Amino acid sequence: MKSKYDVAAYVWPAYTGDEPRARMFWKEGYGEWQSVHNAPSDTALKPEGYVWNRKPLWGYVNEANPDVMEMEINCAYRHGVNVFIYDWYWYDDRPFLENCLNDGYLKAKNNDLVKFYLMWANHNANHMWNIDLSDQINNEVIWRGDVTFDIFKKLVKRWIEKYFSHPSYYKIEGKPVFMFYLMKPLLISFGGSAGVREALDYFRDEVKKAGFPGLHLQAAYNAFEGFDYDGSLGGPAGDLYEICGFDSVTHYNMGTRKERDGDYLDFIRCHQNDYDRMDREGKLYFPQVSLGWDNNPRYHKFKKNVTCNNTPENVKKALAQAKAYADSHPLPAPLIVINSWNEWTETSYLQPDNLYGYGYLEAVREVFLEGDSPEEK
């Protein structure tokens, strides 16, 4: 059965040892699986009773391996997930963590089953990923996320030629979809909102020159950035998304919302509040569901803001709420966004684990495939 919805899950491409620079964060050589495997839970530095002991049922697989990705694509498709949104990075004048996309997904023989698009995770890189340093110098910048206009032109060329032309690249109305994670690095890169608009207009023009009808630009709505721009970094003030010319917004995870500590049933109401806010602001919004939040696997010390009660049964309620939003709004595509496919160290993932098995994936299937599942290919 082919789903009538485009259910998209973010992919954090750090579960591989094939990226040499990743060893500065995960020295054991198999990417952030190291943090999952060695997660400190019941220790003197965590509150009494706190335990984090999640383990992947598939094991610590290399997601830059096409055979592994063929298995994952089949599983995603059977459960109604038919789009992957790959986090994409550019640091130190070169791509970072592209292996899972280039060598895993793109070389998988069945990647026609699950489409993909890119989200440029344009934040600074710091020591958050390195548990040996995350407690002490978490915010020390290793690589900056902002770029020059000349570098941006290089990135645009790479995105168009390497990815947009792939037959499985996700499009809305024939236009490749591309998401930006943070607004501030864009403002810094291009000298304010007018400069961002100029850069994005260049991006659109290049996409059209490549033969596409246009570009669908998406932004990740972040409660910690603010959206009524005051012009402090240059350019006119006002609604940044409107000034810069974005076509739509969605969310990334609970980490980009202020309400991220407590019972998941409260988060369901938080999601609904976001939906209502988008309606009030008149934004084209694709509904997003976060599965929870707890990034303690990245730290020895305890990090507050921990989701509880995020069972598959409760997540299913949030998914049904997102489906209702999509059904009741004139969206240009039936796109629902989920965080995430594999954000293990933020405790927000669909992949099967030792706690709930395939429960989260079953919740997606029951909501969006209405009890049926398409045949494996």
Instruction: Flag whether 291 is in a domain.
Output: yes
Q: Is the pLDDT assigned to residue 374 strictly greater than 60?
A: no
Which of 359, 287, 271, 348 shows the shortest CA–CA distance to 10?
348
User: Averaged over 234-238, what is the pLDDT?
Assistant: 91
Let me know if residue 1 belongs to a domain. Answer: no
CB 191 within 8 A of CB 236: no
The pLDDT of residue 376 is above 50: no
Question: Is residue 373 over pLDDT 50?
Answer: no
User: What residues contact 52, with CB distance under 8 A and at least 6 apart?
Assistant: 39, 40, 41, 294, 296, 297, 347
In whole angstroms, give the CA distance from residue 79 to residue 59: 20
Domain assignment present for residue 376? The answer is: no
* Domain encompassing residue 283: 6-368
- pLDDT attached to residue 370: 74
CATH number at residue 291: 3.20.20.80
- What does pLDDT average to over the chain? 93
State the chain's maximal CA–CA distance in angstroms: 60
1 pLDDT band (50/70/90 cuts)?
low
Question: pLDDT by residue (tens digit) across 181-199?
Answer: 999 999 999 999 999 999 9
**pLDDT for residue 231 is more than 50:** yes
Kindly report the backbone phi and psi dihedral angles of residue 214, in degrees, each rounded to the nearest multiple of 5, phi listed first: 165, -170
Whether residue 373 lies inside any domain: the answer is no
pLDDT digits (tens, 9 = 90+) for 137-155: 988 999 999 999 999 999 9
DSSP secondary structure letter of residue 172: E
- Tokens read off for 183: 């607004």
Residue 377 in any domain: the answer is: no
Total number of domains constituting the chain: 1
HSE of 100 in the Cβ direction (CA atoms, 13 Å)? Answer: 28
| 207 occurs within a structural domain | yes
Looking at residue 204, what is its pLDDT?
98
pLDDT at 223: 67
For residues 315 and 362, give the distance between their C-alpha atoms in angstroms, rounded to a whole number: 11
Q: Is residue 159 one of the residues assigned to a domain?
A: yes
Give the mean pLDDT of 323-334.
97
- Helix residue spans in the chain (DSSP H): 33-37, 66-78, 99, 134-137, 149-158, 184-190, 193-209, 240-244, 264-281, 312-327, 359-368
User: What does the DSSP assignment read for 248-261?
Assistant: EEE---GGGSS--S
Q: Which residues contact 176 (CB under 8 A, 6 or more apart)?
A: 117, 163, 164, 169, 170, 207, 212, 215, 216
The verdict on pTM exceeding 0.75 is yes
Q: What is the mean pLDDT of residues 19-25?
A: 96
- Give the residue-averaged pLDDT of 354-363: 98
